[in-house]
Amino acid sequence: MTTWPVQGLAYGGDYNPEQWPREVWDEDMRLMRKAGVTLVSVGIFSWALLEPKEGLFEFDWLDQLLDLLHSHGIAADLGTPTASPPAWFMAAYPDARVVSRDGTVMGFGSRGMASHSHPAYQEAATRIASELARRYVTHPAVAMWHVHNEFGVPVGEDYSPAAVTAFRAWLQGRYQDLDALNDAWGTAFWSQRYEDWEHIGAPAVAPSVVNPAQRLDFARFTDHQLRQRFIAERDAIRAHTLAAGVDQPITTNFMANATLTTDLFAWAREVDIVSNDHYLTAADPEGEIGLALAADLTRSVGGGAPWMLMEHSTSAVNWQERNVAKRPGEMARNSLAHVARGSDSVLFFQWRAGRKGAEKFHSAMLPHAGESSRVFREVCELGARLGQLGEVQGSRVHAQVAILWDTESFWAQDLEWRPTVDHRHQERIRAFYERLWRDGVTVDFVHPGQDLSAYRLVVAPALYLLRTEHATHLEDYVASGGTLLVSFFSGIVDEHDAIHPGGFGAPLARVLGLTVEEFLPLREHATGTVRFGDAVLEGDVWQEDLALAGAEVRGTYLTGPGAAIPGKTGAAITRHTWGAGHGWYVSTRLHGEHLAAVMDEVYADAGILPPRPAPGLEVVTRHGEDASFVFAINHSDHDHQLAVSGTDVTSGVSADSHTIHAGEVAVIRTPVSREGGDGTHAAARASHPLA
């Protein structure tokens, strides 16, 4: 059981005092106290200051900083600075520079830069991690460790000579002999056969499309390489925490859903606490849905355990095309939405806005406008609010619906030369997630190999790469009473990106009662229609010619290439009974209300009554030992009533119904609910009707 680094919910952010004169640090302490800050991440980009020359360590400034934090009762999440190798390192080891897929050798003067596969980088990174741990595991300010920063960005795939050498070694470990590799990669195609391991390279830009199985393996290798770097630094720190007998969790900050370079289900097994960074996409007018998705994914990869929001922003970021400032109240809504979905911290990038460098236009807890600014006022209000929510720490979110998430499927699916460029895996994940979010249904993301028995409904949006054993797992889930909803381009290839024999979707043929005879992608901007009961649904991008083998037709193509195929029913949407459950299939791309019509029938099969909150109202429940906490977040500009019996944790008012004011968040403490997950089934709905 991991010790939580601070009492209650942690509040604070990245703190970079090395960018400021010493007198500013005292001012920082005063203002952190005022804001209710309890935890700051330090040292993340400080390598050049901590080791100004190779092997020469200077810790005085960090000693002073940690002492100062401790004297003000603020805990430190101590970073290893390995995401930013110093100038001396790059000068001494020029061949450690990262090379991009198109062959560009990356320069100095930014961050990232070093190849994770280069032995000198590996050695230097492990050494600085170890030296930091040797010195600081016994420091009373240090509550936890933050390894590196966002593995996978800005350095993900690396095509440097060191990476190519490491890739060959990794392939030898994976395949043992070249025949096995040639077979897995299908190298009989285009004369790609290898007779010598030394001839194999990284899948760099080539005259035409590169072998997709090679690219898929390179994605796996990249994930593996990065993970090994985390493990090496973690173990260097752990050797010292174990020797000192201290319990300091070690994490690294993920970027759930924002970068797909890393397979977070595998990473989550390696960290003591899952932590995540999330930034709104300004171009997305409903950023709260993307936020909820990232938060649910973060919780899910960690198996539901409390996690940490390691970074988000108080207002605008600086790296998007149009950096939209958060409106009054939005920062609190965002923060509490993460908490509602299982985060036990609210941390920001960064504490004080920097005057110099590439991020000077990024918002901060303490903006350039200073203590009297709106943002700082809201930061103080949020700190006070989180202080009242301490008892939420450790409570959990329950879900009855799962969306399948397999990072390998992402890696394989979005490569070149697929049936249409208009289909992206993430788009389908978001479309189904969005539908469930609007219906008020809480979702877990689940790997297809995981136990599914807790879920009434499992959704598989475009699960392109599907291992046969995972398909069998899905069959068993349905046979024992589950409801499975599969959308097009699922079950197409195996782990080597080779088409499954037996027709498209063959591994799912038994559970769905069909295979796909032919994909029928639509021309750009074209749409097609489906008759579904009394409704006519509109879809775009994709249709199919289905080969039915037992499935019941619930929707038929009216227009588009799927309609009027001689001798065919034009089946578009199907339902199949398999054992005690049902397998649904949707063969076109539906959105919004058109998808809602199908989901209603699927919910009915799954025995789910979605709570359907008022538009703009987001309601999620966390369940603790002694109480449950209903978080109601009002994203709309008018008040809503929430009929739930309990006590508003902030106002202390007990009532059977609470007004959730426009733009505000309420947290209602209710008696512990043993049965209801999120109010998605009949029993829970009665006590959870939303106005």
Distance separating alpha carbons of residues 341 and 397, to the nearest angstrom: 6
Q: In angstroms, give the least distance from the CB of 258 to ligand GAL.
A: 8
Residue 6 or 347: the one with the smaller Cβ distance to ligand GAL is 347
Give the residue carrying structure tokens 């944790």.
649
- Smallest separation, CB 149 to ligand GAL (Å): 5
Instruction: Considering only residues 25 through 64, tell me which ones interact with ligand GAL, judged by CB under 6 A.
Output: none
Query: What is the separation of C-alpha 246 from the centre of its chain, rounded to a whole number of angstroms?
Result: 30
Nearest residue relative to ligand GAL (C-beta): 349
Under rule CB under 6 A, residue 434 binds ligand GAL = no
For residues 166 and 118, what is the distance between their CA atoms, to the nearest angstrom? 9
CB 216 within 8 A of CB 497: yes
Report the site for ligand GAL in 368-407 (rule: CB under 6 A). none
150 flagged as catalytic: yes
Instruction: Count Cα neighbours of 609 within 13 Å in the Cβ-side half-sphere.
Output: 12
Residue 386 to residue 74: CA distance in whole angstroms: 15
Nearer to ligand GAL, 349 or 578 (CB): 349
Name residue 654's beta-bridge partners: 647
* Residue (151 or 432) nearer to ligand GAL, CB: 151
What pairing do the DSSP bridges indicate for beta strands 627-634 and 646-648?
Answer: unpaired
Question: How far apart are CB 234 and ligand GAL at their closest, in Å?
Answer: 18
Quote the distance between the C-alpha of residue 64 and its chain's center: 36
Binding mask 303-332 for ligand GAL (x = CB under 6 A): --------x-----x---------------
Q: How big is the chain by its Cα radius of gyration, in Å? A: 26
x-or-dash string of contact with ligand GAL, 337-366, rule CB under 6 A: ------------x---------x--x----
Establish if 77 lies at the interface with ligand GAL (CB under 6 A).
no
Does residue number 150 form part of the binding site for ligand GAL (CB under 6 A)?
yes
- Residue of 311, 408, 601, 618 marked active site: 311
Which lies closer to ligand GAL via its Cβ, residue 279 or residue 603?
A: 279
Q: With respect to ligand GAL, which residue has the nearer C-beta, 146 or 428?
A: 146
The least distance separating ligand GAL from the CB of residue 87, rounded to whole angstroms, comes to: 19
Q: Which of 51, 131, 150, 475 is catalytic?
A: 150
Which CB, 150 or 538, lies closer to ligand GAL? Answer: 150
Give me the residue label for tokens 């009434």.
Answer: 456
How many Å apart are CA 509 and CA 27, to the nearest integer? 66
Instruction: Looking at residues 249 to 288 of the shown chain, list those that interact with ligand GAL (rule: CB under 6 A).
Output: 277, 279
Q: Say if CB 292 and CB 183 are below 8 A apart.
A: no
- Give the whole-angstrom CA distance, residue 4 versus residue 10: 9
Q: Which is nearer to ligand GAL, 243 or 358 (CB)?
A: 358
Of 122 and 149, which CB lies nearer to ligand GAL in the complex structure? 149
Whole-Å CA distances, 70 to 10, 38, 515: 15, 10, 63
Q: Which of 457, 486, 462 is nearest to 413 (CA)?
A: 462
- CB 348 to ligand GAL: min, Å: 10
**How many whole angstroms separate alpha carbon 313 and alpha carbon 330?**
11
Asked whether 342 and 399 are in contact (CB, 8 A), the reply is no
CA distance 111 to 124: 16
CB 562 within 8 A of CB 553: no
CB 475 within 8 Å of CB 330:
no
Minimum CB separation from ligand GAL for residue 273, in Å?
A: 17
Tell me if residue 359 is catalytic.
no
Residues in the interface with ligand GAL (CB under 6 A) total 9
Backbone phi, then psi, for 672, in 5-degree steps? Answer: -60, 130
109, 72 in Cβ contact below 8 A? Answer: no
- Binding footprint of ligand GAL on the chain (CB under 6 A): 149-150, 277, 279, 311, 317, 349, 359, 362
Report the catalytic residues.
150, 311
